[in-house]
Structure 1
Amino acid sequence: MRLKSALPLLALALATATLPACGGGTDPADPPAPVAATGTPSAPAVDAPATSPSARAGLGSARPSPSAAKATLLRAGNPDGKATVPAEARAVDTSHPTRTVGTGTPASCTSAAVVKAVAAGGIITFDCGPAPVTITMTATAKVVNAHGPRIVLDGGGKVTLSGGGSRRILYMNTCDQAQGWTTSHCQNQEFPQLTVQNLTFTGGNSTGEKTEGGGGGAIFVRGGRVKVVNSRFVDNRCDRTGPDLGGAALRVLSQFDNKPVYVVGSTFTGGVCANGAALSSIGVSWTVLNSVFRDNRAVGTGANPARGGTPGGGSGGAIYCDGNEFTVKLAGTVVENNSANEGGGAVFFVSNNRTGTMSITSSTLRRNPSKGFETKGFPGIFFLGARPPSVSSSHLS
């Protein structure tokens, strides 16, 4: 794929002719059936209970967060995960919000209020009444690059943002002129920084969205930094075909200084996309801690570049990573029952220049069929990088 206002990405050329290579463009897909979205207060089904990560102010200071401590309705992530969460990956202190969506009733928590708050930036909380509530978005909430510099959305464990099966929910792009350019090097700038925590995202759908190559059914991010804490992504969608687009839940490009995207104590289920039916990226590093990926499907066909007569795609049932020098770390995480029509039922990892590395610690990867190809000795994974993935205290089957 090609990124606007950035150095072109190197095309992948695999040495083994029998394995598909990575590169190429995207093709339009038939949109999936819309996901039904409720218009009244509701709460999605929950997984096994999990302890919310300790809160920290900003990206690392040490004030506790009362709002995070009270977020007991949302149960996300792997309750048995014991991976240590670094300070900068923990929840942000939202006890003194910049702005609040809602005035204490479900009716006051509207799509327009969310869009306005995200555009204004700062620390955003919700006051929608005592019961869980679903806000069906009638427009995508977009970060304005000059605002912030940190944008935090904290649902308090009671808020679901729904795309209604028809639109992307949240968007940040430092290289999108419509959202304002704040530096001359938009592909590598520190701010804005986006955090989503104690939220559920469902019914996001970016089908047909081709900016920056598409993908990102629930959330699309390019530039700055992004992290996800104690959140759930349920039944999100992006284009069903295309060799390199992906991320039914989250698509991320061009993170500042190649610092990792942190995903902590979160759950990804039911995603469907051409590739990377939960997470997808190009040239981006990930640190995934105490999380769960279940029942996500990469449904494209033809791999990357697309085989003749095919639209391409079908790799990375849960996670799809392409690019040059980047890392992927999974710790305390469960990846199960995901599937890929081509390579990597659990994880597709291709480092074009063979510098990338991957580690799996205290994690379980099981029942992630790769219907086309995977790396011998690593069930559910297709890997090309500096050396074989490092696996410790983990089970792969």
Structure 2
Amino acid sequence: MRRHQPASVLIGVVCCLVLGGCGGGEPRRDAGTPAPATSSGGGTAASAGAAPLKSVKARPERKPFAAGNPNGRAAVPPEARAVDTSDPAHVIGDGTPRGCTSAAVVAAVARGGVITFDCGPEPITITMTATARVVNARPRVVLDGGGKVTLSGGGKRRILYMNTCDKALGWTTSHCNDQPTPRLTVQHIAFANGNSTGERAEGGGGGAIFVRGGRFNVVGARFQDNRCDATGPDLGGAAVRVLDQSRGQPVYVVGSTFQGGVCSNGGALSSIGVSWAVLNSVLIGNRAIGRGANPARGGTPGGGSGGALYADGNRFTVRFAGSVVSGNRAAEGGGAVFFVSNDLTGTLAIEGSRLSRNPSAGFETPGFRGIFYRGAGPPRVSSSTLR
């Protein structure tokens, strides 16, 4: 296969799981509203002749959402674990939903550092009216939703964007495609209904999140019903698209869930020349819907490969460990995984994982159900099920 031009368990059981520099001192609140007021007074004694007060049972606080494969046993290296957020640089919200707005998210991401939310006890969805963009001079950005915050693109826009080669965000080195910062981590947060359709800069894709350069990790996050362009031979990543990572280090996806994504390629994840380590995670019901594969067949727009993950390039690795990949599909190749290392140096490993019911309508590698693979030797499969 020729070098491409850069442009890109079981369902019932999994669904119950899926759906079921920092500043010191006092963190900055980014809601644009004052701190929550405290109530005063209000004893329980009633005046003579007054009707007795009724006791009101407090509504219990709802639990944070679930994400990832709780039965996964893959070891998580220190660099892939959740970041400590006990001393945040910015807190979005004032203890109530009113301060948790798109504008507050955009402003906090631009300022960088560790960002948390204080939106009250109930889960909340913040519909973004603009894409949050990481400023390249920020060494670290951590976005932690505490398991209760969903950022929604409203079906209209990409939610989060980082690109070390985008001069509008500051060009901080002479080698923008290989620099160690910013380090972006999204953790304990959900991204839903992101849509990058029509966003063709850097080849497009990345319906919820687009990343180029620096480092990027996903920990305990959930991605639901994200979208990117429906056709194109190399673009992809309905949830996440990544180009370039510092010194070829992998993107870690840990304890996270990707469901219902739709794109030309990579119904959940997509990359060119980037390594992935997908640990204790769930990818379910994602679709690659393009037509014509890559290179595109004559008379077709191209695409349709990698129902869950689309990975292309030269020397890179993909590793699934402790993960479930189920019910994904591709209109062309690799209902679960499309992996092409053009110079045949890349490797694919599947460890302690279950891949099931991931149909490839066009083509896949014999003996590896749901996978199309070209790399160094055969895929390495251990303690796993492919069916």
TM interval, short-chain normalised? 0.7 to 0.9
Note if 1:261 corresponds to 2:258. no
The amino acid that maps onto 1:352 is N
Counterpart check, 1:95 vs 2:86: yes
Aligned to 2:184, the other structure's residue is in SS state: strand
Displacement of 1:46: 7.1
Work out the number of aligned pairs and report it. Answer: 343
Alignment of 1:345-360 (within 5 A): 345-360=335-350
Instruction: Give the Cα separation in 1 of the matches to 2:110 and 2:7.
Output: 29
Does the 8 A contact of 1:314 with 1:341 survive in 2? yes
Query: Is residue 48 from structure 1 mapped to residue 29 from structure 2 by the alignment?
Result: no
Q: Which residue does the alignment assign to 2:287?
A: 297
Cα gap change, 1:284 to 1:303, in 2 (>3 Å)? same
Equivalent residue in structure 2 for 1:226, among 209, 216, 232: 216
In the alignment, the residues of structure 2 paired with residue 383 and residue 133 of structure 1 have an alpha-carbon distance, to the nearest angstrom, of 40
Please give the secondary structure, in 1, of the residue aligned with 2:237. Answer: coil
Residue pair 2:268, 2:283 contacting (<8 A) in 1 also: yes
In the alignment, is the contact (CA less than 8 A) between 2:151 and 2:192 conserved in 1?
yes
Match of 1:340 among 330, 337, 340: 330
In the alignment, the residues of structure 2 paired with residue 262 and residue 49 of structure 1 have an alpha-carbon distance, to the nearest angstrom, of: 19
**Secondary structure at 2:241's aligned position in 1?**
strand
Q: Give the 3 Å change call, closer, same or farther, for CA 174–347 of structure 1 in structure 2.
A: same
CA deviation after TM superposition for structure 1 residue 25, in Å = 7.0
Which piece of structure 1 moves more, 72-81 or 293-302? 72-81
Please name the residue that 2:70 is paired with: 79
CA shift for structure 1 position 105? 1.0
Gap runs ≥5 in structure 2: 9-13, 23-60
Q: What letter corresponds to residue 94 of structure 2 in structure 1?
A: T
| CA displacement at 1:23 relative to structure 2 | 2.2
Identity of aligned residues (%): 69
Structure-2 residue corresponding to 1:389 = 379
Report Cα offsets for 1:29-74 as digits up to 9, x if no partner: xxxxxxxxxxxxxxxx974289xxxxxx99xxxxxxxxxxx99512
Please state if 1:365 is matched with 2:355: yes
Distance across 2 between alignment mates of 1:25 and 1:375: 24
Matched, 1:23 2:4: yes
Question: Structure 1 103/46 Cα, relative in aligned 2: closer, same or farther at 3 Å?
Answer: farther
Answer yes or no: is the 8 Å Cα contact 2:62–2:123 preserved in 1.
no
Q: Check if 1:310 corresponds to 2:300.
A: yes
1:145 equivalent in structure 2:
136
Partner of 1:209: 199
Partner SS state of residue 204, structure 1:
coil
Q: CA deviation at 1:26?
A: 6.0
Q: Match of 1:268, SS?
A: strand
For the residues of structure 1 that align with 2:114 and 2:15, how far apart are their CA atoms?
26
Residues 77 and 264 in structure 1, CA contact (< 8 A), matched pair in contact too: yes
Q: Which amino acid aligns with 1:92?
A: V
Contact between 1:249 and 1:278, CA under 8 Å: does it hold in 2? yes
- What is residue 186 of structure 2 aligned with on the other side? 196
Name the structure 2 match of 1:281: 271
- Cα pair distance change 1:71/1:392, threshold 3 Å: farther
Q: Write the letter of the residue equivalent to 2:188.
A: N
How far apart in 1 are the matches of 2:248 and 2:383?
27
Q: Distance in 2 between matches of 1:353 and 1:181?
A: 31
Indicate whether 1:134 and 2:147 are aligned. Answer: no
Letter in 2 for 1:23: H
Instruction: For 1:71 and 1:77, locate their aligned partners in 2 and report how far apart those are by CA, in whole Å.
Output: 19
1:379 maps to 2:348: no
Q: Is the 8 A contact 2:289 2:330 kept in 1?
A: yes
Q: Distance in 2 between matches of 1:182 and 1:241?
A: 34
Alignment-mate amino acid for residue 227 of structure 2: R
